[in-house]
Chains A and B, each alone.
Chain A
Amino acid sequence: MIPEEQLSAYLDDALDGDQRQAVDLELEHDPSALRFVLEQRQLDRVLRSLLGAASRRERLKESILAALAGATAEQLRAQVLADTSGALRWWVRRGTSGTVWVGPARAAS
């Protein structure tokens, strides 16, 4: 059985490589500890989302609206009148430090 303090440090990403690997190995053979870890991580993500909404909302809203701003009213109207899916591409450039949203841009023909 994995001690509570070790498991909570694991969930907090506070263990070094060897310690982390040891917990990972134990989780393979301890279904209840695995269930605990999965549920803790899920709730952690949801609490980040719900309680951190105020600080995130404006930034995320701005990123969405900035992405949309590239589409003019004429382009939008054209999309509505005739489905032109594929005419615009939203490029995602993946880097080591995360994802940068770059778009919209005309798809290469």
Chain B
Amino acid sequence: MSLPSSIADGSADDAQLVAAVQAGDAHAFGPLVERHLDAIHALVALRLPAAHLVDEITHHTFVFAFRRIAEFTAGTSFRAWLRAIAANKIRAEIERYRREEGHRLAYAELRALEEALGEVKRPDSPELEVLDDCLREVPSHLRNLLDLRYREVRSSEEIAGRLERSVAWVRTTLCRVRQQLRDCIERKLKLQAP
């Protein structure tokens, strides 16, 4: 079956794509995944204090959305609907994780789960909206460090070798850059506050 031209050429908006999926065209879900995957993944990463589960919960969010696409209300935001599904998945995962792994977790991990439960229903994530701006303000030599760690997924030892620095320097500098980013996020959010 050939796709409608607006879907094939990528010009269809969310409402058109959802309508096509609701009419039985499963292929129309692909562009929706493409369009919203990064934002939902970042939201899950922000709210779920278990890094190894971020991909999985993101995966389940989209699969759930596909299966329940009939329940999506036309005229509302598809992104907001995905976020609500993700929030429910995150909360369920935190509760399961705490129940099954709680006795093995360190104090800091348990506290992270408790805090995350309190935050999971927040409808917005302003931190993510300002983080891009803060990343643009990172000096180039430190941006290179972030890219080696997060874009190329290099270990501290590999980065130390590449930059001819000590491993301790890599670790402490990464901590300081993350702290500067945190400070930048808070500063920008304060400026936005009414």
- Give the B-binding residues of A (Cβ under 8 A): 4-5, 7-9, 11-12, 14, 20, 24, 27-28, 34, 36-57, 60-61, 63-65, 67-69, 71, 73-74, 76-77, 79-81, 83, 85, 88, 90, 92, 98-99, 101, 103
Contacts and interface: CB of A to CB of B under 8 A. Distances in A.
A55 B55 CA distance: 12
A85 B71 CA distance: 11
B29 A53 contact: no
A64 B63 contact: yes
A76 B135 CA distance: 42
Given A48-B51, A50-B42, A64-B62, A38 B24 contact: no
B37 A83 contact: no
Contacts of A8: 168, 171-172, 174-175
B168 A38 contact: no
A44 B172 CA distance: 13
A51 B151 contact: yes
Contacts of B111: 34, 38
B79 interface: no
B106 interface: yes
Nearest to A20: B106
A46 B45 contact: yes
Interface residues of B, number: 64
B150 A47 contact: yes
Say whether chain A's binding surface is mostly helix, strand, loop, or mixed: helix
Given A56-B41, A64-B33, A4 B56 contact: no
B156 A14 contact: yes
Contacts of A38: 49, 108, 111-112, 115
B128 interface: yes
A41 B38 CA distance: 19
Nearest to B186: A39
Given A47-B181, A80-B23, 12 more contacts: A12-B156, A40-B179, A41-B51, A52-B153, A57-B38, A60-B41, A61-B30, A65-B33, A71-B66, A79-B70, A80-B24, A80-B69
B153 A55 contact: yes
B46 A47 contact: no
Best-buried of B45, B58, B111 by chain A (most CB within 10 Å): B45
A12 B45 contact: no
A12 B52 CA distance: 15
A27 B108 contact: yes
Contact of B171 (A14, A37, A53, A98): A14
A8 B177 CA distance: 12
B131 interface: yes
Contacts of B51: 41, 44-45, 48
Going nearest first, the 7 A-B pairs with the smallest beta carbon separation are: A51-B150, A49-B45, A8-B171, A45-B45, A77-B24, A24-B106, A80-B70
